[in-house]
Amino acid sequence: MPDQTVGRADLRADCERCFGLCCVALPFAASADFAIDKQAGTPCPKLRGDHRCGIHATLRQKGFTGCTVYDCFGAGQQVSQITFGGQDWRAGSPEQARLMFDVFPVVRQLHELLWYLTEALTLPAARPLHAELRRLLEETESLAGQGPDQLAVLDVGAHRQTVNVLLLEASELTRAGVRGRKKDRRGADLIGARLKGADLRGANLRGACLIAADLTGADLRGADLIGADLRDAELTDADLTGAFFLTQPQLNAARGSAGTRLPGSVSRPVHWAAQL
C-alpha cells in the first residue's frame, strides 16, 4: 500500500501529473454540457497523445462546458503517480487500465471529502468537533492511500455517510453564530427561483437545486452550500463571504461578476469576465 499523506495542495487538480483520467474514465452524454456521447473507459476524441486536451482553450465554444466545471480534487495525480506508481494506462494491460479507471472516481470522492474535512477544521465554531474531524481526516487519507485492489472494492458511500454526519454538526455550529433568522432550504427545488437580493445569511442550502436561480445581490454570508447545484445560477454582486463547503466546480458552473464577493477557499472563475 502506498505510504502517502494527502495535503491541501494535493486536493487541487494538477493535470501535468495526470494521465488524462477524467477524459477517459468518465462517461458523458450529448447535452448542453457535452457535444458528444462518450462511454466510460473510452478516451475522448479530443484527448491528445500527451494526455492533454486538444481544445482546452475553446472548450466552451466547442460545446464542452461540462469539462470546464469539473474538478477531480487532485484524484487524477494521486491515482496516476501514487496509486499506480506512475504507470501510464496506455502502457499497461487492458485489465490494468480498467482497474485505474474504476479506482479514479473512488479516489475523487475521497479527495472531495478531504476537502470538506480540511475546511471544517478552519471553522472556529466547530472547534468542539475538531478532534473527531481530524480523526476522520486521517482515516480518509488512509483510505485514499490504499492500493488499487482495495480501492476498487471500497464502500465509499458508507464512509461518505459517516463523514457527512460530522460535517452537518460542524455546519449547524457555524451557522448558529450567524445573526438573523436562518432559512432551511436543504435539498429544496429552487430551479429558476427569483432570489434577487434575498437574505440567505446562514442558510442551510445543502443539496439545494439552484439551477438558473437568480441570486443577483443575494446575501449568502455564512451559508452552507455543500452539494448545492449552482449550474447557471446568477451570482452577480452576491455576497458569499464566509459561505462554506463551496467548491470550485460549483462556482465554475455559476455566473458571476467582479462584484461577486467570495470566500478565500475558491477563486473567481476566468470565464466570468467574458460574461460582463
For residue 27, how many other CB atoms are within 10 A of its CB? 11
Residue-by-residue DSSP string for 143-209: HHTS-HHHHHT--HHHHHHHHHHHHHHHHHHHHHTSSS---B-TT-B-TT-B-TT-B-TT-B-TT-B
pLDDT of residue 191: 97
196 vs 273, more confident: 196
* pLDDT range class, residue 27, cuts 50, 70, 90: very high
The x, y and z cell numbers of residue 169, run together, are 454538526
Q: What rounded mean pLDDT belongs to the chain? A: 93
Mean pLDDT of 178-189: 92
- pLDDT score of 1 more than 50: no
- The residues pairing with 199 across neighbouring beta strands, listed in sequence order, are 219
Amino acid (one-letter) located at 169: E
56: Cβ contacts below 8 Å, ≥ 6 apart: none
pLDDT of residue 272: 87
The answer to whether the predicted template modeling score (pTM) of the entire model surpasses 0.85 is yes
157: Cβ contacts below 8 Å, ≥ 6 apart: none
* pLDDT range class, residue 2, cuts 50, 70, 90: very low
Mean pLDDT of 138-163: 97
What are the respective helix, strand and coil percentages of the chain, to the nearest 5?
Answer: 40, 5, 55
Q: Which of the 8 DSSP states describes residue 21?
A: G
Q: Helix 156-176 and helix 94-120: axis angle, to 10°?
A: 20
**Burial of 2 from C-beta contacts in 10 A (0-12 / 13-18 / 19+):** middle
- pLDDT score of 5 more than 60: no
Least confident of 82-91, 250-259, 262-271: 262-271
pLDDT tens by residue, 85-124 = 999 999 989 999 999 999 999 999 999 999 999 999 999 9
pLDDT of residue 3: 42
- pLDDT score of 276 more than 90: no
Dihedral sign, Cα of residue 114, residue 118, residue 121, residue 122: negative
Whole-number Å distance between alpha carbons of 205 and 114: 20
| pLDDT above 90 coverage of the chain, percent | 88
- pLDDT score of 187 more than 80: yes
pLDDT of residue 8: 65
pLDDT tens by residue, 202-241 = 999 999 999 999 999 999 999 999 999 999 999 999 999 9
Amino acid (one-letter) located at 192: G
Q: Could you tell me the end-to-end alpha-carbon distance of the chain, in angstroms, rounded to an integer?
A: 49
Mean pLDDT of 121-130: 96
The x, y and z cell numbers of residue 161, run together, are 455517510
